[in-house]
Amino acid sequence: MASGETTGTVMCPVCEQPVTYPVRLCHRTRTEAAVAFDLAPVREHIASHEARFTTELPPTAR
């Protein structure tokens, strides 16, 4: 069985900063492979952006 570790990168849609996450590759047989993505760093980064809602209208709508 062969295996390896690498990383993947996505861009945050809010701050446009790259977020890297670990990826594990595992080849069990000649015809069977598995890929596992650990998206915890992506979830943590997205959670760090607080949504700011207000009930006040913007100046252009007044």
Q: Which residues contact 38 (CB under 8 A, 6 or more apart)?
A: 21, 22, 23, 24
Which pLDDT does position 11 carry in this prediction? 93
Domain residue ranges of the chain, discontinuous segments joined by +: 2-51
**Model confidence pLDDT, tens digit, residues 4-41:** 888 999 998 888 899 999 999 887 777 888 889 999 99
**Model confidence pLDDT, tens digit, residues 39-51:** 999 988 988 886 6
Predicted TM-score (pTM) of this structure: 0.64
Which pLDDT does position 61 carry in this prediction? 62
Beta bridge partner(s), residue 19? 10
